[in-house]
Structure 1
């Protein structure tokens, strides 16, 4: 049953659920109304029985006729609005004229014997009709006190309740049908935005057209879903454009070193094929050029691999690392690449949460830029103080109109296109710093040159390593090597 329900369209399920909910609610209200009406009618009947009194003349006449014959006899025929009869202590009855005889119950006998003042209960007539009976004591002139039962038939109440039940059933049926139709209409109307969203998704899946947008009206859940879909398609389109741009830029950057590498290798191969040896100096220069171009290609491929990862992903586990130690290692590599430069550093301890290899690569890229653009015999100053790493060079600097583009992928200043590099170094720096929760900026330095500033939030200082336990003397003696 559940599988069949789940197999229905969403509109049908909503309409069916609405109709079911309305049916349950209407049924509960109808039953409550019927029970309330039944209780109220019975209460009104009981109240009228308590307030009604039998006519003394009719009771006296009935008693006289009953004494002449049998006390259990009927004193008259026909029917009246209420049935009146006299009950004795032995359970006998004397029915007044135009009344219907009612069966005597134990409650009536208890009143006749003086055990209770009155009794209100249900009973039946001799022909099986349900009645409501009120029995009490009554004083008659010349006779004394007698026990009189006044009964009212219940068929009037039952008939009214039956008519009410039929009316409530009809109204419930009409309400359920109307609720089902209204639910179906509401489902169709409410799911129109979902239909548009479905059509848009199917169109994107079929045509890969990410320019599709869904009109958004209101602030409800459907509007939020449509707005999220529009944002998703916009992000996908932007990602696809960046991917296409990355491929185009990578192809452009790879073409130059590959062309030069191919030319050099062809020269070396032609020399071997023709048997005409190149001069030793030219051959050494070609081999050095090939080696440099291969190194450049390897660096470019590494940068592309680094940038191909999602921005939220990290190449390794994040841990608390000493930024001053990583900066010191990056400085040693920078000094090897610029031995003619004076690189001064002041590194104060600072710990950050980052991936060590990625952070070291970012610092190496920043220092490489400073070494690359510094003039021969120039100086580079490095300062790490309270999480702010400053690298200042004395090169030509970056024009102000080019500063907003320095962290873009493959962007290179026109004045730096002749220098080695791929234009990806600062992009990797910005990405790594953002992943570590920091920020990076480049700005002109006073007196010329450029200042690179990296700010990284601090992390709790890791506890020192516990000291090694002392080695027992016996172990040292066992490990001693005897001299010949």
Structure 2
């Protein structure tokens, strides 16, 4: 299996934990390595300073320029440094053997052709460090060698190494535990979000929500809150769809039953009189028209937005005038009056002409339906900011006012009138799609007033 495929299958929580662990572990190991280097340097530096001090002391205490071993007790930890003088010429060597090794490098230091240097060696079974430097007590061509036991320094370095290694292991372990805890706690909302999404996919229940911790405002919590908002919108959409289907089935049941009854009646036309056949045929035509209108309204209500390719600049005054003229012809028993204010006579609005015509037709038809024959006219007023349609019918009851734009909602006074309860719902949807706002209110003196308010930046006077 490829490394990329393994990485893709690794959970995000594990990857974050590994990343945090690796980061902290790298820092811990880096700090421990740096600490080891500093400790090693300081211990060695301290030992070298002691050798330098021992060389100075040996020079001050031996002004007679002897050669050979000056002090040879450095095999003990508390003893002073071993010290000896070696000439540049081997002829001057003493009869007694040297305690410290004398090499060609030692002769070169004595001759002044080489700089002082340090050496690590083993003396009488003990590790020592030796300084070889030029003797400055008097005369020339001699090298002073001093040595101190260094096993204590090595032991301290080993102890520091073990301690730093333990700190590194503990740091890596704590980093792993902390990384896993941080990843688990930080991604807990994501885990809940994933579980919620999987539960919704399995149960198709959009009412489930993610529990948000109080007081937290980090990015993951904001993501969970946005997901809850999306679930709320989804639940509203599903509820609206179900309600639409239920209401549509309820509204279609009666006309479809009547259609089937009249169709079955016409199937036995040989048993009917001419007048009965004509009445059944006329009823069948009306019901077909009613069902067709209802289905068309449902199709248009199911559309969320207007088709953008059909949007154009629509002259409102001619459109409203044409809509009033059509309503006057369709409702001959109702009078209509139109008032176009001067500032709106040449204004335009971006939109779909056919949809705006449907909005106006629904508003005017609703007003005409509640206007008694021969009563006061339906008043239509167009200004630069809004269009109002006012009738003088029974008006809208206060308890019905919040629901007049709901689909299939019909008030008590309207249930005996023709219609399906979709006209105002469709009018508001068309208004919202054009950026306008459609509202209803009780008109002063009786009747209902519908107000279509245009967006301030959309209406363009000529």
Q: TM-score, normalised by structure 2?
A: 0.77
CA distance in 2, matches of 1:91, 1:41: 35
1:306-327: CA deviations, max 9, x gaps?
Answer: 22234xx434447452351443
1:278 corresponds to: 274
Matches within 5 A, 1:27-426: 27-52=29-54, 53-56=56-59, 59-60=62-63, 63-65=65-67, 75=69, 78=72, 80=74, 82=81, 84=83, 98-101=99-102, 104=105, 108=109, 112=112, 121-123=117-119, 131=129, 133=131, 135=133, 138-140=136-138, 143=139, 148=144, 157-184=153-180, 200-218=196-214, 219=216, 224=222, 227-228=225-226, 230-271=228-269, 273-274=270-271, 277-279=273-275, 286-310=280-304, 313-317=305-309, 319=311, 321-322=313-314, 324=316, 325-340=318-333, 341-346=335-340, 348=344, 349-377=346-374, 378-426=376-424
Whether the aligned pair in 1 keeps the contact of 2:337 and 2:378 (CA below 8 Å) is yes
* Distance change (3 Å), C-alpha of 1:266 and 1:168: same
What secondary structure sits across from 1:365 in the alignment? helix
Could you list the runs of 5+ residues in structure 1 that have no partner in the other structure?
Answer: 66-73, 465-484
Whether the aligned pair in 2 keeps the contact of 1:105 and 1:123 (CA below 8 Å) is no
Whether the aligned pair in 2 keeps the contact of 1:49 and 1:151 (CA below 8 Å) is yes
1:112-167: CA deviations, max 9, x gaps?
Answer: 37x9xxx565456699x895747466243xx4796656566766544433332232
The structural deviation recorded for 1:210 is 4.3
1:481 corresponds to: none
Whether the aligned pair in 2 keeps the contact of 1:389 and 1:455 (CA below 8 Å) is yes
The structural deviation recorded for 1:255 is 2.3
The structural deviation recorded for 1:248 is 1.9
* Distance change (3 Å), C-alpha of 1:370 and 1:105: farther
CA distance in 2, matches of 1:355, 1:38: 84
* Distance change (3 Å), C-alpha of 1:78 and 1:145: closer
CA distance in 2, matches of 1:106, 1:361: 115
2:450 corresponds to: 452
Whether the aligned pair in 2 keeps the contact of 1:103 and 1:123 (CA below 8 Å) is no
What secondary structure sits across from 1:418 in the alignment? coil
Structure with the greater relative contact order (CA < 8 A, sep ≥ 6): 1 or 2?
2
* Distance change (3 Å), C-alpha of 1:389 and 1:49: farther
1:227-269: CA deviations, max 9, x gaps?
Answer: 5555555444443333222222112211232233334444443
What secondary structure sits across from 1:55 in the alignment? helix
1:254-313: CA deviations, max 9, x gaps?
Answer: 123223333444444322x34x5513xx65555444333322222211211122234xx4
The structural deviation recorded for 1:413 is 1.9
CA RMSD of aligned residues (A): 4.2
**Counterpart pick for 1:23 among 22, 25, 41:** 25
The structural deviation recorded for 1:356 is 4.0
